[in-house]
Amino acid sequence: MAPSLLTTPSQALALAPGAAASRVGGGGGGSARVSFPSGRVQRRGALGMRVRASVAIEKETPESEPPPTFLREDGSGAGSGSVRERFEAMIRRVQGEVCAALEEADGSGARFVEDVWSRPGGGGGISRVLQDGRVFEKAGVNVSVVYGVMPPDAYRAAKGEAGKNGAAADGPKAGPVPFFAAGISSVLHPKNPFAPTLHFNYRYFETDAPKDAPGAPRQWWFGGGTDLTPSYIIEEDVKHFHSVQKQACDKFDPSFYPRFKKWCDDYFYIKHRNERRGLGGIFFDDLNDYDQEMLLNFATECADSVVPAYIPIVERRKDTPFTEEHKAWQQLRRGRYVEFNLVYDRGTTFGLKTGGRIESILVSLPLTARWQYDHTPEEGTEERKLLDACINPKEWLDL
């Protein structure tokens, strides 16, 4: 299976080695309507939209309001009951629910600023960002729907075929392959050093038949995960977080949590530091070896688990007293977060290299971070305890 991602809130997609998204279109009509629990979104004015348009990719068109759907009006689009339609409805619902929960937890009256954009050939996205709240220094919750075309090599990789020079092992050279992808991605950075950072991302990828091979089988897969990055280990919080991930996984397959927990520890590895970015969670990609309906339900369950996994932790820690030393350590750990995202995260690096929507790509970065020369926490300190757990991942639950 080809590596596929929508791991940043942008349209960045790593389709396969050497693959690139092209003519990823936006804007659509359709009849499928999505309801949003939070109607309290602060919208940018026309000036803000013009400024945003001047720095975004040419193909993007700012919109004043989210359309009912970003899907094209075709057999797999709005009103079809397809996995595409249901996945888009799910991620837009979850975006609204997560934003509403975060605004309530913040308690300052701060609201998410929303940017909506579309593309002429179908697709688009909704970026929501809250900055400088009482609890959250920066929180981004983005959704995007992408249409594009990938090289034939990527399609054959997805099918597991081994060919050379653009030709399949048992046939002539294939043409470009249309694809569809949709995802939700979020990173939440609280102010209090004892309240952890959270990242979650869930995505669905699907190809159509190559343009010169109508009727060829459609390829699809799911990816995603939710992971926790604290500055200090509070075992009650970490165990609560992992237990919610395990509960979501166990509803579908008891092998999922240990399998995806290890995958998470392996993926969020900062090689040049020999550390993990945080204390893990679950992560999976290219998942298509189960029934499609089951995996759609699994991705939905995981996305719906974000609020119960995270908000209780924030509520417990958002008012914990802290010192300047605690804050300085949080800033150093945020530096590690930046390093991973800009050096190793496949969605971020792909988006930067291929002209992705820069504001959406970099929304995952914290508002502030710190790098200090040759800093090593002393043995026996809480800071050292966190570092050791990032170097040597732990099992947080009794499996």
pLDDT at 165: 40
Distance linking the first and last C-alpha atoms of the chain:
30
Task: Give yes or no for residue 319 having a pLDDT over 70.
Answer: yes
pLDDT at 38: 43
Domains of the chain: 42-391 (3.40.1500.10)
Q: If pLDDT is split at 50, 70 and 90, which confidence band does 358 have? A: confident
Active site residue 326: no
Residue found by looking up tokens 């995806």 in the block: 260
pLDDT at 77: 63
**Mean pLDDT computed over 311-339:** 98
pLDDT at 60: 80
pLDDT at 31: 32
CA dist., res. 384 & res. 133, Å (int): 30
**Predicted confidence (pLDDT) per residue in 19-53, tens digit:** 333 333 333 333 333 333 444 455 444 333 333 33
* b/e burial code for range 203-213 (CB count within 10 A of at least 16 → b): bbbbbbbbeeb
Task: Give yes or no for residue 180 having a pLDDT over 50.
Answer: yes
- Report the range out of 8-22, 32-46, 199-213, 239-253 with the highest average pLDDT: 239-253
What global pTM score does this model have?
0.82
Cβ–Cβ under 8 Å, residues 36 and 96? yes
**Predicted confidence (pLDDT) per residue in 61-97, tens digit:** 999 999 999 999 876 666 678 999 999 999 999 999 9
Q: If pLDDT is split at 50, 70 and 90, which confidence band does 212 have? A: low
CA dist., res. 79 & res. 75, Å (int): 9
Residues paired with residue 113 on neighbouring β-strands, in sequence order? 42, 129
Cβ–Cβ under 8 Å, residues 100 and 38? yes
Closest by CA to 10, choosing from 171, 147, 174, 184, is 184
CA dist., res. 11 & res. 74, Å (int): 21
Cβ–Cβ under 8 Å, residues 363 and 52? no
CA dist., res. 61 & res. 57, Å (int): 9
**Predicted confidence (pLDDT) per residue in 359-376, tens digit:** 888 999 999 999 999 999
pLDDT at 216: 67
Q: If pLDDT is split at 50, 70 and 90, which confidence band does 348 have? A: confident
**Predicted confidence (pLDDT) per residue in 97-145, tens digit:** 999 999 999 999 999 999 999 988 889 999 999 999 999 999 999 999 9
DSSP letters, 47-76, are HHHHHHHHHS-TT-EEESS--S--S-SSTT
Catalytic residue among 199, 240, 242, 326: 199
Q: If pLDDT is split at 50, 70 and 90, which confidence band does 163 have? A: very low
pLDDT at 208: 81
Residues paired with residue 222 on neighbouring β-strands, in sequence order? 204, 287
